[in-house]
Structures are given as C-alpha cells and as structure tokens.
Structure 1
C-alpha cells in the first residue's frame, strides 16, 4: 500500500508540474538549448573523429577533451558567482545569443579545414557557454516548482533534456548523410545548432524579470570580488551540506569511469568494430551507442524520483554504482558490439540516477543565494575528473580501442566511488544508510 501511495503521489506531482506554465517554459528553454547541443556535438564529432579528411589517435582525442573541458573548468566557479548575482533570465538570454556567435565561428572553422587547438578553442567557448546555461537552468528550477515537487521536477528536466540532446545528435547524423562527411558537409550540419540557441533565448525572454532568481544576493558590492570568491564559496557551501559532498564523490567516480568508456567506445567504433547485421560501426554505430544511452537516461528519469522517495538517496546512490560496475564488467569488458550497446544503456541510466540524486541534494540542501556557485563548482570538478581519467586511459589504450584491462580498471572506479560514499556517512554520524525517503529524501 505504501508503494502504491508513493507512486500516486509521484504521478500527482508530475501532473501538477505539467499544468504549470512557468515549468513548461523552463523545460522549453532547456529542450531548445540541449537539442542544439546535440546537433553541435555530433556535427563536430563527425568533423573531427569520423571525417575521411582528418585522422585521430587516442592522445588526440584526450587532447580534445582537455581543450574542451579544462579551460572552462577554471572559469566555471566564477560563472557560478554571476548566476548568484545577476538576473538568471537575462543571463540565459544573453548566454544563448553568445553561443550563436561561437557556433558560427566553429562552422566557419570546420568549413575552412581548421583543426587542432584552433578548432578545439572555438568548441571550448561554445561548450563553456552551454554549461553556463545548464547551471543557470538548474539553479532556476526551484523558483518555478513548489518545494515538494523539486525532486520530480528535476527528474523530468534533467532526464528529458539529455534525451532531447540525443535527438539532436540523431538529427545531425541524418543531416550529415544529406550534406556529406567532408569538411563542408560537417560545417553545414553543425550550423543547424544555431536554431536551438535562438529558440532557447526566445523562450527565456518570456519569463518576467527576476522570476528565476536569485531572490537574495549575498555578494559584495564589487563584482570583481564577487567573481573571485566563487570557487571558495561553492566549496564551502558544498562541504556544509554532507549530502552534496558525499554525492560528489560517487558521481565523480562514475564520471571518471564513463570518460574511460567513452574514449574506448569511440576508438572501437572507429577502428575495431565492423558492421554486424543491424548493429553498425563508425559514426552510425556511435549514433546507436548514443541512442542506447539516451534510452537509459529516459528509463532512469521515469524511475529515479520513485527510487529516491522509496529508498532514500543513500541506497539509491549505492545501488546505481553497483549496477554500473556489473554492467561495465560483464558487458563492457568482453568488447562485443551488441554487448556494448546494452552496457551503454545501463551505465548511462545509472549515471543519470546518480546525477538526479546529486542535483536534488544541491537544490534542496543548499541556500538559493549559493546554489549557482555550487552547481558551477559541481560542473568544474565533473569536467576535471573526466579529463584526468581520459588522459590517463589514452596512454594505455591502443589505437583500435581494444583493451579489456583499461575497462576493468574503469569498473574498479565504481567500487572506489561506493567506498568513498560510505566514508562520507561518518560526517553525518550515520552507521547505516537511511531506508525511509523522508529521512534522507
């Protein structure tokens, strides 16, 4: 009876959210931005990784990750201070328009055959703005949903958003088949990402000024001092919320393992796997892999809020890490194309559950005036963890990607994440995880 009651409550909350015009508008802002992200990333991946006019090895791919993620990670905390100081509606509008400029520059560079650090630098700007937009949307969510619906609202937004990005990636693969796989065709495909950024800015401007927060500005009058304080403040508020710092440990372990799997998967699709019936290699195969991941994200979004309410965040996090380890070890390590798709479904699904647990911790356990800084810190550490894992793996993985030992090491990272999460309980004085959602929900 309790399970039925919880399910009914979850359905009621989702229906309530669906009737809320502010929540729908925030979803549209997110969906447009993430569709454009999917098109941009798939278009650029096609241009760099699966372009007959260019060549790529493991270290080059790792270098691409570093160029895309690390520089933004250095400025992300300062961006968080801005999200807690400026009207988030205005930030979303201007950031999307700035992203249009970055996409146009990337398109011109791809068409001209520019590669290496120059192209990665342009992609860095576009991706950095995208993450800034994502942090702003996450920080704004509690302003458009009631407190008891934050977990459900976050599950809907953070699950459907990546699924829309997968759709955008699929659109890019289809457009690539029309325009061609060379530099010019890749540029024409990538250009369609502009539409997503423009639509996202349009939906954001329909909010009234100040509606998305911040309600209280806890910042010094000098904006330079406020920005410089971003990283320290984000870390301080995250440490004060044990649920947040513990979640960081688990999620970053998962992200490191995922980064290794992603590097290996790209190389396998490019240089090792061959078409096998309905299963494809090359860029179409990577598209199937992304599709399986998107399906995992959708399924996770459907069940995540219920799992968190039923078992609490602690048990949900530990179960997700355990299932990830099983999926990686039993399905990923054999390195067979069909098994790789199943592993992608499970690993991304469990990763989404972990992300929703951490997102809800930040949204519920961190004060609004610091939420943007914590999300920006979250994004920064997220990126650094992934780049470090990919960079180390690139040293050991062969060019065709076939390295069971590297994937076995990635499997071990999930276990490390679980152990770290268990140790984090000591800060809260818990000897065992809570099993009642109301005690840790």
Structure 2
C-alpha cells in the first residue's frame, strides 16, 4: 500500500525518528501527569472533593492552552526549537517533581495549583514547537504523511500515558505522587532525547528570528482581531454559526463532565477506588463515542451537509441527555457518555469542515486559534457553572434539564439558519 510504503520511508529519516521520540515521550508524560492531577483532586480518600475543586483542576489543565496558544508562535520564532524542546521538558520535569512533593506535604491548595499550572503552561510551547520543527526533518514530498503520523502518534501516547496512570492508581492506593514522578521521569527522557539533535537543526534560521518581542506579540494580537472580523463577514456566516454552536455544545459537555466526576466519586459509589473504576468505564464509553463519530460523520455530513449534521447531533443530545441523565444510574450514565461523545465529536468534525471550506486560506490559521480559545474556555466556564449548581453528590436535575434546553436551542438555531 502507498501509505505503508511512505511510512517506511519516513521512518528512515534519522532526525524524524528522534523528533517523533521526543513527541511520544513528551505527550506520554502529559497523559500520566494530567491523569494523576485529576485523580488526586477527585479520588484521593483524604480529600473532600467538591465541584469547585474539579473546576479549578480543569482550569489549570485547559486555560494555558487557550491563553498562551495564540501567542506561542510569536515567541517560538525567537527561540531555537531544539532548545525549546530541551529546556521546556527539563522545566516540566522539575515542576512535576515539585508537584509530587506538594502532594505529600501539607500545603495550601493554591500552591499545588500554581505548580500544576506551570507544567501545563509550558505544554503549548512544546507541542507548537514539535509541529513547527517537522518540515526541518522530512522532505516536502512526505510532509503530509508526517503531519498525519506525528500528531496521531502523540495522541495515542497521551492516551497510553493516561491508561498507565490509571492502572498504577488502581493497583496502589495513595500513589498519586509516585505517578506524577513517573511523568517527571518521562519529561526528563524527552529532554535527553532532544540532545541527540543539533541545536540549529530544527530552526528557525537566524535571519528569520524576529528582532523585538513586543512587535511580534502586538502583530499576533492584530492578526487575531483581523481573523474575527473576517469571520463576522456575511460570506462566512455559516462558519460563525457553526463555531457558536460548537462552543455551546462544548459548554454542555464540560458541565456534564463535572457532574459525572462527582457522581462517580460520591453519588454512585461508596469508595474512591470504585469511583475511579466507574470513571474509567465512563471515559471509555465516551471515547468509543468519539471513535464512532469519526466513522459515522464523514458519511452523514456528506449526505446531509455539515450544518444539518450539527442540527442532528444537537437534537439527539437534547432528547437523550435528559432521558439518560435524570435516572442517575450507572447503566444510563454509560450510555449517555457514549451518546455525548458521539454527538460532541460529530458536531466538532462538522464544524471543522465548515470552517475549512468557508474561511479563506490566509485567515484559516487565525480562525482556528480563535476556535481553540472558544473550545477550551467554554469547557472551563461550564465547569465553573456546574460547580455553582451541583450538590456534593453530583445529582442535579436542574443542571441536566438546563443542559438539555441548551442542546435544544442549538439545534433550533442551526435549523433556522439552514432555512434562511
């Protein structure tokens, strides 16, 4: 097969293999660290977890992506990319070790969150750097297949890291600090592997480095503002509506995620280990929904059109989410996790398609930066709203009904837009 042949050729590039190894180790460490952080906040027996604590953890995990991401490129154009991989991973290894120490020490929660925020804040620079460096280690003919392989392999590594962290946490109670130290060790390995590449190999070329940081940051802000104006123009109205719909659906998914966490911890189980197992099942069901969306959406969106497929996804969630959520029972909860994974990811794929097909190429990168901000900020905002509405055991009929109404409003608004 041509793809298999291209992959075999691609892996013959020595520096590509090294860069890919850095990605696998780095994103594997991300999966370990972020899972350890979440399980420590929610499932530690000695901690009385609240929805507010869950919301704080989500903010720590996601806000750096949103706030730092749009400006990462301007900063990365000033630094050697190999050095970013080296010092970024060394910094995360050191800060993850500090996080592990804070887990076993009697320190205020805010200090623990500051440490975790430093680790996740560096992550956006490392991931952006890995993507920017890719054209320096493969030829132009195989850049497309390299772009396909590397992020997919990194996502699988993160998933494997999360699974490893879950496994260690289930086998040995009170092992959160040890799991975080495992993540620190993987970050250190990623830094050491980056030393196999010459400092100048990954660029940027010296003459391309921007001379003034302030100019670069102001230019990035102006570019983002121009992207928003471009999106607001009538020819891109469908993309704007799709982005608004996806933002609201991501908000719903975030609120329900906090509710599921609290149900697994208190409402449906009596022991943290039982809750952790149930959460693993729920995440697996949601992941299966994401996978099903990848299989179903290309055909359905091609048959109905991306915007109408968003209507179908939102309408299905509006009907099934209250029906499956209001019993607050394990079986319906797992089915609901699958349905919400399918509908959320299906709508996201359709939204990506709408944006890619309607936004001009020169603005596409900026629009996706705005998209990234909306996607993550809405999730964190939902966690904050859920923290205000949820009781300690996570059983809130008011939240379930409110989310169902929002899904219904998204479906109705998109359907009305399609009739215009």
Aligned length: 409
Deviates more, 1:373-382 or 1:103-112: 373-382
Deviation string, structure 1 residues 323-379 (Cα, Å, up to 9, x no partner): 4434423323332212212222232233334444555677785758983x6555433
Residue from 180, 185, 202 that aligns with 1:190: 180
**Equivalent-residue separation in structure 1 for 2:78 and 2:250 (angstroms):** 29
Partner of 2:258: 263
Structure-2 residue corresponding to 1:4: none
- Given the alignment of the two structures, is residue 233 of structure 1 paired with residue 223 of structure 2, yes or no? yes
In structure 1, distance between residues paired with 2:88 and 2:274: 36
- 1:9-88, aligned counterparts within 5 Å? 20-21=10-11, 30-70=23-63, 73-83=66-76
Quote the offset at 1:298 in angstroms: 3.2
Residue from 302, 314, 333 that aligns with 2:307: 314
2:379 corresponds to 1:389:
no
Shift of 1:117: 0.8
Q: CA deviation at 1:137?
A: 5.2
Q: Which residue of 1 aligns with 2:284?
A: 291
CA distance in 2, matches of 1:308, 1:174: 37
Counterpart contact for 1:166–1:294, Cα < 8 Å: no
Map 1:196-207 onto structure 2 (within 5 A): 196-198=186-188, 200-201=190-191
Does the 8 Å CA contact 1:179/1:186 hold for their aligned counterparts? no
Distance 2:402 2:153 in 1: 31
CA distance in 2, matches of 1:269, 1:163: 25
1:268: Cα distance to partner? 0.5
Deviations along 1:91-142, one digit per CA (max 9) or x if unpaired, are: 4454333322221221121122434111111111222222444455567789
Q: 2: distance between equivalents of 1:262 and 1:404?
A: 15
- Cα offset for 1:170? 2.4
Matched, 1:252 2:247: yes
Aligned to 1:439: none
- Partner residue, 2:110: 117
C-alpha deviation, 1:190, in angstroms: 1.6
* Secondary structure of the corresponding residue to residue 43 of structure 2: coil
Q: Give the whole-Å Cα distance in 2 for the aligned partners of 1:199 and 1:26.
A: 13
Unpaired runs of 5+ in structure 1?
A: 1-10, 426-430, 433-441
Q: Is the 8 A contact 2:6 2:142 kept in 1?
A: no
After superposition, the Cα gap between the structure-2 partners of 1:320 and 1:140, relative to the gap in structure 1 and judged at 3 Å, is farther
Provide the C-alpha distance between the structure 2 equivalents of 1:266 and 1:138, rounded to a whole number of angstroms. 33
CA contact (8 A) 2:28 2:158 kept: yes
Q: How does 1:360-375 map to 2 (within 5 A)?
A: 371=365, 375=368
Comparing 237-246 and 287-296, the one that deviates more:
237-246
**TM-score w.r.t. length of structure 2:** 0.77
Q: Deviations over 1:398-421 (max 9, x none)?
A: 110001220221233334444565
When the two chains are superposed, the root-mean-square deviation of aligned CA atoms in Å is: 4.4
Task: Check whether the contact 1:159–1:301 (CA below 8 A) recurs between aligned residues.
Answer: no
TM-score by length of 1: 0.74
Q: State whether structure 2 residue 324 is matched by structure 1 residue 331.
A: yes
In structure 1, how many angstroms separate the alpha carbons of the residues matched to 2:300 and 2:3?
15
Which residue in the other structure is 1:400 paired with?
Answer: 393
Contact between 2:64 and 2:120, CA under 8 Å: does it hold in 1? no
* CA apart distance, 1:271: 0.9
Partner of 1:344: 337
- Note closer, same or farther for the CA distance 1:158–1:75 as it changes in structure 2 (3 Å cut): closer
How far 1:161 moved relative to its partner? 4.9
With over 3 angstroms needed to count, the CA separation of the structure-2 counterparts of 1:61 and 1:153, relative to structure 1, is same
CA apart distance, 1:212: 7.7
Change (3 A) 1:114 1:380: farther
Q: Distance in 1 between matches of 2:415 and 2:199?
A: 43
Q: 1:313–1:209: structure 2 CA closer, same or farther, 3 Å change rule?
A: farther
Distance 1:319 1:192, change over 3 A: farther
Measured after TM superposition, the shift of residue 15 of structure 1 is: 7.6
> Residues 291, 230 of structure 1: CA spacing in aligned structure 2 closer, same or farther, 3 A cutoff?
same
Please identify, of 385-394 and 227-236, the stretch whose mean Cα deviation from structure 2 is larger.
227-236
SS in 1 for 2:328: coil
Instruction: Rate the CA distance shift 1:319–1:155 in 2: closer, same or farther, 3 A.
Output: farther
Residue 261 (structure 1) shift:
0.6
Alpha-carbon distance between aligned partners in 2 of 1:420 and 1:115, rounded to the nearest angstrom: 45
Partners in 1 of 2:317 and 2:77 — Cα distance?
34
> How far is 1:240 from its partner?
2.5
Do 2:290 and 2:341's aligned partners in 1 also have CA atoms closer than 8 Å? yes
Whole-angstrom CA distance in 2 between matches of 1:36 and 1:97: 12
CA distance in 2, matches of 1:362, 1:87: 32
CA distance in 2, matches of 1:416, 1:40: 37
